[in-house]
Chain A
Amino acid sequence: MSELKFENIDVGDNLPALTKPAVSRTTLALFAGASNDHNPIHIDIDVAKAAGMDDVFAQGMLSMAYLGQLLTNWVAQDQIRSYGVRFGAITHLKDKVTCTGRVIDKFTEDGENRIRVSLQAANQDADVKLRGEAIIAF
């Protein structure tokens, strides 16, 4: 799948960005079922309000799955050695998440050529929701 070569990648290169459709209640309901996360705060407005929220809101792992797609759109999944994020802010209904990434290091480890990429997911107002990193092998 991947025609990228280690020698052709430079620190500072950007990954092709990925913008997902706006988050809807249907998105959250489908992801709750598909991800086995049945926490009602994401799908039942009564529960969300009882917890002090204005409305239901996205599962953090939904945005993490989107950022994972940014990676697997760029390289084959079996090249990914690790992938981690910090959840910084809640993703709300109608947020349109754009995932971006940038190569920040190239190195050799465990006998493999590897790169480190920094990752970010932000909404249409450039509010950052997640930041993370991944290690990819070539």
Chain B
Amino acid sequence: MIDRSWIGKSFPALTVDVEKGQLRFFAKAVGEDNPIYTDEDCAKAAGYRSLPAPPTFTFSLNLVTPDPFAKYTSMGIKLNRVLHGGQKFDYLAPICAGDTVTLESTVKDIYSKKNGALEFLEEETVVANQDGEIVARLLNTLVVRN
């Protein structure tokens, strides 16, 4: 059982640079051939300041820390029992290369199903840019098989 007192707790914020090289590597890894994701001139012609971060990239920014899963082990969760159950993004403004974003994650809920055989951890991450503008919200649902 995950201690329910974690509900409402926040983890230390991460501040991360959004890098052109990493965005191009991501585009290559997913076979993205739309040039706005790799060619800055094309991105600017499409109205972006620089290469835009693709729709799921903020999830990757949240992993830019030496041990991104330590927060879960600190809650007593065994990582080999964890599945990624769901992921949602709300988009408020574009994130582009050259931005520096701060990601702050909070445990929104913990609940169980099947008499505790499955536990669910819902974590919300708020992403703000260098101007303090909130640009995205993530909701990550982890499933722990007890």
For the complex, count residues of A whose C-beta is within 8 A of B.
37
- Taken residue by residue from 65 to 87, chain B's Cβ proximity to chain A (1 for < 8 Å, 0 otherwise) reads as 00011000000000010011111
- The answer to whether A84 touches B89 (Cβ under 8 A) is yes
- The answer to whether B90 touches A82 (Cβ under 8 A) is yes
Take A1-B46, A72-B54, A84-B139 as given contacts and tell me if A21 and B63 are in contact as well, using a CB distance cutoff of 8 Å. Answer: no
- Chain A residues with Cβ below 8 Å from B54 are 65, 68-69, 72, 77
- A94 CB within 8 Å of chain B: no
- The answer to whether A82 touches B88 (Cβ under 8 A) is yes
CB distance from A136 to the nearest CB of B (A): 10
Please, how many angstroms separate the alpha-carbon atoms of A34 and B88 in the complex?
20
- Chain A residues with Cβ below 8 Å from B10 are none
For the complex, count residues of B whose C-beta is within 8 A of A.
35
Name the contact of A72 in the complex, choosing from B28, B34, B86 (C-beta under 8 A): B34
**Which residue on B lies nearest to A66, using beta carbons?**
B30
- The answer to whether A62 touches B89 (Cβ under 8 A) is no
- The answer to whether A83 touches B88 (Cβ under 8 A) is yes
- A33 CB within 8 Å of chain B: yes
Take A68-B55, A87-B83 as given contacts and tell me if A81 and B26 are in contact as well, using a CB distance cutoff of 8 Å. Answer: no
Q: At the interface, is chain A mostly helix, strand, loop or mixed?
A: helix
- The answer to whether B56 touches A60 (Cβ under 8 A) is no
- A51 CB within 8 Å of chain B: yes
Please, how many angstroms separate the alpha-carbon atoms of A127 and B68 in the complex?
31
Residue with the greatest number of chain B CB neighbours at <10 A, chosen from A21, A62, A77: A77
- The answer to whether B34 touches A86 (Cβ under 8 A) is no
CB distance from B123 to the nearest CB of A (A): 14
Take A64-B87, A82-B91 as given contacts and tell me if A34 and B26 are in contact as well, using a CB distance cutoff of 8 Å. Answer: yes
- The answer to whether A85 touches B86 (Cβ under 8 A) is yes
- Chain A residues with Cβ below 8 Å from B32 are 69
- B13 CB within 8 Å of chain A: no
Name the contact of B55 in the complex, choosing from A38, A41, A71 (C-beta under 8 A): A71
- Taken residue by residue from 27 to 49, chain B's Cβ proximity to chain A (1 for < 8 Å, 0 otherwise) reads as 01111101010000000001100
- A17 CB within 8 Å of chain B: no
In the A-B complex, the 7 residue pairs with the smallest Cβ-Cβ separation, listed nearest first, are: A84-B88, A34-B29, A36-B63, A68-B55, A30-B29, A34-B25, A34-B26
Chain A: residues with CB nearer than 8 A to chain B? 1, 20-21, 27, 30-31, 33-39, 41, 51, 60-62, 64-66, 68-69, 71-73, 76-78, 80-87
Q: A35-B26, A73-B34, A81-B91 are in contact. List 9 more A-B contacts (CB 8 A).
A: A36-B61, A65-B56, A69-B54, A72-B54, A72-B55, A78-B47, A78-B91, A82-B90, A83-B56
